[in-house]
Amino acid sequence: MSGDSRLAADELLAAPDALTAPVLAYLEQLRVERGYAANTLAGYRRDLARLIGFTRTLAIAEWSVLTPEQLQRFIAGEHRRGLVPTSVQRLLSSCRGFFLHLVREGVLCATPAAGLRAPRARRKLPEVLDVDEITRLLDFPALTPEDIRDKAMLELFYSSGLRLAELCGLCWRDLNLEEGLVRVQGKGGKVRDVPVGRMACQALETLRAASGASPDWPVFKGRNGQAIERSTVQSRIRVIAQRQGIDKRVYPHLLRHSSASHLLESSQNLRGVQEFLGHADIATTQIYTHLDFQHLAKVYDAAHPRARRKR
């Protein structure tokens, strides 16, 4: 979220009235009761501030007056102004959640978002590193304290398919290296136990021996001794990828995608990969079946006698 859009949202939500008060109450519920991450809340805040701005142009003073036709006009207008389909989908999702909240609270009898559809977005397949690229990325000597930390960090990312926020929030008590498990708190505060591979366990044992490991200490520390910042993790991964000669943009979620894709390719167990990643909906995990099929198609084109093209 840019500084300008954040400022605009803050200005629109600053004056308490019949429009802003329910929005602020809803955002607080998402934060406290559902444990939404700060970045997710910022997206909801921005989307609902846009909605408030639109309703004020219509001189609407309370939510019960907003009609489905007006809400449809708002969504269509944002799309016409250049909001990409995926962002329009998220905007409509934010509105749906808010209006359902108002129905549950008895403010509305029915949601004006019922039946509204966002433009269909072409689903982009996630990028992945192949096994050789992963091996090259992780195969570097850990000679300095920073390298020891970074090697453990990258090994754990790939081994356990963690999200960036999950990795940054880890304390030593969350790790059971003897059993090869890590307990992480994912989206919505959901807790899951994830396997940790042998190489990641070895790298983490080296880190623990080098840095000490009180149970309440963060596993990965920044320069101030506190839990490492997300931006630091992203920066370190970029630096290591360049140093190791990886000719791709490498970022934390790319390691998660690669881990999931390689696991599915080897196991063909979609439900297991869903649990491994902590996806609430298996439809989210199914994106990796498309990647797996894409890989199969390339192998087929290259190897099948009836598929090979003549040179």
pLDDT digits (tens, 9 = 90+) for 119-171: 665 666 667 788 899 999 999 999 999 999 999 999 998 888 888 998 999 99
The average confidence (pLDDT) of the chain is 82
Q: What is the 3-state secondary structure (H, E, C) of the chain?
A: CCHHHHHHHHHHHHCCCCCHHHHHHHHHHHHHCCCCCHHHHHHHHHHHHHHHHHHHHCCCCCHHHCCHHHHHHHHHHHHHCCCCHHHHHHHHHHHHHHHHHHHHCCCCCCCCCCCCCCCCCCCCCCCCCCHHHHHHHHCCCCCCHHHHHHHHHHHHHHHHCCCHHHHHCCEHHHEECCCCEEEEECHHHCEEEEECCHHHHHHHHHHHHHHCCCCCCECCECCCCCECCHHHHHHHHHHHHHHCCCCCCCCHHHHHHHHHHHHHHHHCCHHHHHHHHCCCCHHHHCHHHHHHHHHHHHHHHHHCCCCCCCC
* 289 and 194 assigned to the same domain: yes
Give the residue numbers annotated as catalytic, written as ranges.
163, 187, 253, 256, 279, 288
Give yes or no for residue 200 having a pLDDT over 60. Answer: yes
Q: Which residue has the higher pLDDT, 287 or 136?
A: 136
* 185 and 286 assigned to the same domain: yes
Q: Is residue 29 part of a domain?
A: yes
CATH number, residue 48: 1.10.150
* 285 and 197 assigned to the same domain: yes
* 157 and 271 assigned to the same domain: yes
* 97 and 143 assigned to the same domain: no
* 139 and 243 assigned to the same domain: yes
pLDDT at 307: 46
CATH number, residue 276: 1.10.443.10
* 143 and 286 assigned to the same domain: yes
Domain hosting residue 275, numbered range: 131-302
Q: Is residue 274 part of a domain?
A: yes
Query: Count of domains in the chain?
Result: 2
